[in-house]
Amino acid sequence: MNDDRFEVIGRVTRRQDGHAMVTGRQLYSSDISLPNMLQARVLRSPYPHARIAAIDTSEAERLGAVCITPEDVPRVKYNERQVSVPAKTYRDRTVLPDKVRHVGQGVVAVAARTEALADRALDALDVEFESLPAVFDPHEAMRDGAPQLHDAVLLGETVLPIERNIACYREAVEGDVARGLEEADLVVENEFTTGRAYHGQLESKAVVCRPEADGGITVWATAQSIHNTRQLLGSLFDIPLSKINVQRVPIGGSFGSSIQMNSSVAVCVALALKAQKSVKLVLTREEDMYDHCKYPSNIHLTYGVKRDGTLTAGYLKTVVDIGGHNIQAYPLLGCMAGWFVSLYRLPHLKFEGTAVYTNKAPACAMQGYGNPQVTFAVESMMDTIAEELDIDPIDVRLKNYVGLGETFWGQGPTVRSVIRSCGVEEMLLKGKAMVGWEGRGSSTSKTGRFRRGIGVGRGFHTSGTGAPTPGEVIDYSTAMVKINEDGSVDCLTALMCHGGGTLDAGAKMVAEELGVPLDRVGISPSNTRSTGYDVCTHATRGVYCGGASLLRAAQDVKKILFDFASRIIDVNPDALKVRPDTNRGQGVVCLPGAPAKRITVAEVAKTAQIKGWGSIIAVVSHRQVNCPPCFVVNFVEVEVDTATGQIRPMRAVAAVDAGTVINPDLAAGQLEGGLCRGIGLALLEDTTYKPDTGELTCGGYLTDYKVYTAQDMPSLEDLSTFFADTYEPSGPFGAKGVGEAANNATAGAVANAIYNAVGIRLTEAPITPERVLSALTRDAEQLQQGR
C-alpha cells in the first residue's frame, strides 16, 4: 500500500537496522564485551519463602571471585518500574533481599575472570536458609492466618502496612449499578481466569557495567527506558545522574518484560562498583522465567442488557496475583478499569480490583497490561448476550461500542479523552464479509469429530498515556533534529524500538517534514548523557508520542532552514517549500512556480556555517495530551477435534485502526504477530507452579514451555490483514499506535469460535485440550441426564 498523500510515509522502505539484524551484526546487551571484563553469576533461592540465616562467601573469594551479599548493597526500598509518579509508586524490594519471596530470587552474586570460574565460585557459596510457609493462591493468601510476604511497604514516602497480603485495591464507580441491573431485561454473569504466561522475548535479559574513574558508571542493559534506568540507579547508589550513562542498546523484543529496570541491572552495578572492573551478567532462559511473567487474573463479570441489545450496566470484579513483589499493580488495576469501561457504553458501571502477593515470580506488564485479560472476558460476554437475545454478535457490538466523539478512559479513571478517529464499524463489517460470517452456522448444526467455528473479538489499546490533565503516569518524549552541512539529517532520541520499526517510523516523519530523501536521515546512537528524557516505550506510544516529538523538532528545524534559505535566495520564508530531489539525492528548498528560486538543503546548511549563522538544529520535549485508541478486530476460524480436544486455528482476519499507517509492512507484521501471540495465550501459554515447592512445573523454556509459532498458524492464504481508513487529528501525520492492540482481542475471538464450533463456553485460558475434553464430557453427561 502506498499513500499518495506522502512521499515516504505509508510506503514500504528498507529498515535502517535491517541489514545488521539479518546478518547478525546487530549488537545486543549480551554481545557487549569490554577489556578485563568479569563474568557474573547469581545464587538464587531454591525456596519460595525463606529468611536468609547465614551467608559464607569465603571459599568463593578464595577462588578469586568478587562477591556481594545483602550486606554489601544499599538497603533502599525501590520499585523497578519508574513510569508512575512517585506518590503512586509502591516500593517493596531491595537490590538483594534478607528474605526471599519466590523461587529463583537472587540472594548472592559473584563475578570472576571467566564464566567457568564464576560457576565454580557460585558452587562454593554457603547459604543457610530458614524456610517459611508459602502461599501460591491469591484467594488463600487473603485469608486470615495465611503466610505474610510483606509486613509493610512504601507508597511514595509513606509507610503502608500490608494486611492479608493485599498489595493494593482500586474501585471505580459511575452511576448506580444496582439500578442499571434492575432496568435490564436480562442479566448475565460469568467468571473468567487467565494464566501467568511468560513473555518469551527473543533475548534473555543482560547487562554490562563499567565503573568510571570519576566514581560514575556506564551501563549497557536490556531496557525499555534508558533514562528511567539511570534515575533509579542514581537514587539507589547515591551517584549524581551526571556521572551515570546508560547506553541505548537494541532490544530483542520485550513485550513489557523490561518496562522496569530489571533486578539484574542493580546487582551488576553493585558488583562493578565493588570490583572496580567491568562486569557482565546474562540471565539464562530459566532464570529469566523466574524473573517476571504476565499478570494473571480472575474476573467476575456481570452485565445488564435490554431486549434490543442495549447495555444498561456492567460490573467487573477482579483479583490479580502479582507474585512476590509489586511492580505497579495499582496502575494495572486502573488500566483494567479503563479497558472494561471503554469497550462498550455503560450508563451504570462499577469496577473493583484487588492485587495480591503470592510466593511466585513477580508479574509485570505484558503486551496489553491487563487488556487481553479484560477483553477475553468482555468479548466472551458479548457473544453470550447475543445468544441469549438471539441477536447477531456483530450487531450487539455495533450497538454498544464506545466510538467517535465519546469519552473513553484510556489507561484508567485519571486518563480520559475524547475519541477523534474510529474505524470500528468499517472493520467489523468488512471483516464480516471477508471471513464469510453469514455462513458460519450455529453449533447445534455441527456434527462429527471435527467441527469448525468462527468467532469475532474486538478491542483497543491506547496510543500512550496522555490526557488533557496529567494523570498517574509520566508521559513525554524529547528529540533533537539537526541538518548537517551535506544536507543529511541526524535524529537523536532516547526512544526505544522493540523491533517493530518505531525508530524507522520516526525517520520517515522527519524525512517527510523536511523534504529530504529517507536514506539521508539517520537515527543516531544515543545514551542518557546525549539525549533528553523519554519515559519509556510502552502503552503503544512509540509512533504517536515519540514520533510526535521528532516531528515537532523537525518542524522547528524547517523554520530555521527556511529562514536561512530566504536570506540566500531573497524570498519570504513563508512562501518556501522543500521537496526531495531524487536525481541529486538532496532536499531542495524552492519557491513554487519560480525555477530560479531554488537551493539545496546542503547549500543552505553549508552557507549558514560559513557565514556563522549557526547550526540548523532543534530540541523539543513534548507531551501528547491525548491517548487515542488504536482499535482492532479479529475474526478467527478454528477446528475442534472432539475426540482429543485439540484446537487448530484455520483462518483469520485481523484489522487495525491505526490512523495513518507509517510502515505498512511492519504494521501488518504487528497484526500477524499479535494474532499469533494472542492465539498462544488463548490456547497454550501458562506458567504453573508445584504446590509443595513453588517451582515451575515446566522444566525449562526450550523443553516444556511451548509457544505458538508460524508453523502453528493458518497458512498465508488463510490469513488476511487490513487497515481501517482513518486519520487521527492529534497524531503525527494522522498516526496512532498498533503494537499492543494487536493481540488484545484475539483470545475472545478464539473462545467465541470454539463456542460456535461445539456449543461450549470455556472461560479459563489457556483453553487446553484437557479443558476442552472435560467440558465436552460434562456437557454430554448433562444431555444424557436431561433425557
Condensed to tens digits (0 to 9), the pLDDT of residues 257-287 reads: 998 999 999 999 999 999 999 999 999 999 9
Each domain of the chain, given as residue ranges in start order, spans: 32-132+202-253+258-289, 293-468+626-786, 476-622
Which residues face 54 on adjacent strands?
128
Tell me what the mean pLDDT of segment 155-175 comes to: 96
CA separation for the pair 513, 560 (Å, rounded): 13
- SS3 of 620, please? strand
CATH architecture of 293-468+626-786: 2-Layer Sandwich (3.30)
Angle between helices 424-435 and 393-400 (to 10 degrees): 170
- 729-766 pLDDT, tens digit per residue, is 999 999 999 999 999 999 999 999 999 999 999 999 99
What cell does 725 get? Answer: 481508513
Task: Centre a 10 Å sphere on the Cβ of residue 87 and count the other Cβ atoms it contains.
Answer: 10
Tell me what the mean pLDDT of segment 499-519 comes to: 94
Residue 55 has pLDDT above 80, yes or no: yes
Assess contact for 262 and 207: CB atoms under 8 A: yes
Tell me what the mean pLDDT of segment 282-294 comes to: 94
Residue 531 has pLDDT above 60, yes or no: yes
- 647-668 pLDDT, tens digit per residue, is 999 999 999 999 999 999 999 9
- Contacts of residues 231-235 at CB distance under 8 Å and 24 or more positions apart, as own/partner, are 231/82, 232/78, 232/80, 232/82, 232/261, 232/266, 233/261, 233/265, 233/266, 233/269, 235/76, 235/78
Burial per residue of 262-288, b for 16 or more beta-carbon CB atoms within 10 angstroms, e otherwise: bbbbbbbbbbbbbbebbbbbbbeebbb
Q: What is the reported pTM?
A: 0.95
- 109-134 pLDDT, tens digit per residue, is 999 999 999 999 999 999 999 999 99
CA separation for the pair 31, 24 (Å, rounded): 11
Class of domain 476-622 as given by CATH: alpha beta
Tell me what the mean pLDDT of segment 399-422 comes to: 93
The contacts of residue 778 (CB under 8 Å, 6+ apart) are none
Side-chain-side CA neighbours of 468 within 13 Å: the count stands at 7
What's at 421, amino acid-wise?
A: S
Assess contact for 188 and 305: CB atoms under 8 A: yes
Q: Which residue has the cell 487495525?
A: 656
Peptide bond into 517 cis (omega under 30): no
Residue 784 has pLDDT above 70, yes or no: no
Query: What is the radius of gyration, based on Cα positions, of the chain?
Result: 27
Banded model confidence at residue 466, pLDDT cuts 50, 70, 90: confident
Residue 1 has pLDDT above 60, yes or no: no
- Per DSSP bridges, beta strands 244-247 and 217-221 are parallel
- Per DSSP bridges, beta strands 186-194 and 586-591 are unpaired
Q: Under CATH, what is the fold of the domain 32-132+202-253+258-289?
A: Aldehyde Oxidoreductase; domain 3 (3.90.1170)
pLDDT score at 30: 93
What's at 106, amino acid-wise?
A: G
What cell does 685 get? Answer: 501459554
Q: From residue 54, how far is each of 66, 71, 654 by CA, in Å?
A: 18, 11, 56
Banded model confidence at residue 218, pLDDT cuts 50, 70, 90: very high
Residue 583 has pLDDT above 70, yes or no: yes
Sort 463 into a burial class: Cβ within 10 Å, 0-12 / 13-18 / 19+: buried
Burial per residue of 10-29, b for 16 or more beta-carbon CB atoms within 10 angstroms, e otherwise: bbebebbbeeeeeeeeeebb
Q: What is the distance between the terminal CA atoms of the chain, rounded to a whole angstrom?
A: 57
Among 553, 520, 505, CA closest to 734: 505
pLDDT score at 301: 98
pLDDT score at 706: 85
* 476-622 matches 32-132+202-253+258-289 in CATH topology: no
- 673-693 pLDDT, tens digit per residue, is 999 999 999 999 999 999 999
Among 457, 478, 367, CA closest to 707: 367
Handedness of CA 669, 260, 541, 556 (dihedral sign): negative
pLDDT score at 633: 98
Assess contact for 333 and 295: CB atoms under 8 A: no
Tell me what the mean pLDDT of segment 609-626 comes to: 96
**What is the pLDDT of the chain when averaged over all its residues?**
94
Among 482, 487, 490, CA closest to 606: 487
**Lowest-confidence segment of 102-116, 638-652, 703-717 by average pLDDT:** 703-717
Assess contact for 244 and 233: CB atoms under 8 A: yes
Phi first, then psi, for residue 735 (nearest 5°) are: -90, 150
CA separation for the pair 523, 384 (Å, rounded): 49
Assess contact for 428 and 654: CB atoms under 8 A: no
CA separation for the pair 606, 610 (Å, rounded): 6
- Per DSSP bridges, beta strands 407-408 and 152-155 are unpaired
Assess contact for 526 and 492: CB atoms under 8 A: yes
Alpha helices in 499-619 (DSSP H): 502-514, 547-569, 601-611
For the chain, the farthest-separated pair of C-alpha atoms sits apart, in whole angstroms, at 96
Cα torsion at 752, 758, 761, 763 (round to 10°)? -80
SS3 content of the chain, % helix, strand, coil (to 5): 35, 25, 40
- SS3 of 431, please? helix
CA separation for the pair 492, 666 (Å, rounded): 22
Assess contact for 350 and 178: CB atoms under 8 A: no
Side-chain-side CA neighbours of 2 within 13 Å: the count stands at 5
Residue 787 has pLDDT above 70, yes or no: no
Residue 779 has pLDDT above 80, yes or no: no
Among 305, 443, 331, CA closest to 386: 305
pLDDT score at 400: 98
What's at 770, amino acid-wise?
A: E
pLDDT score at 121: 98
- SS3 of 711, please? helix
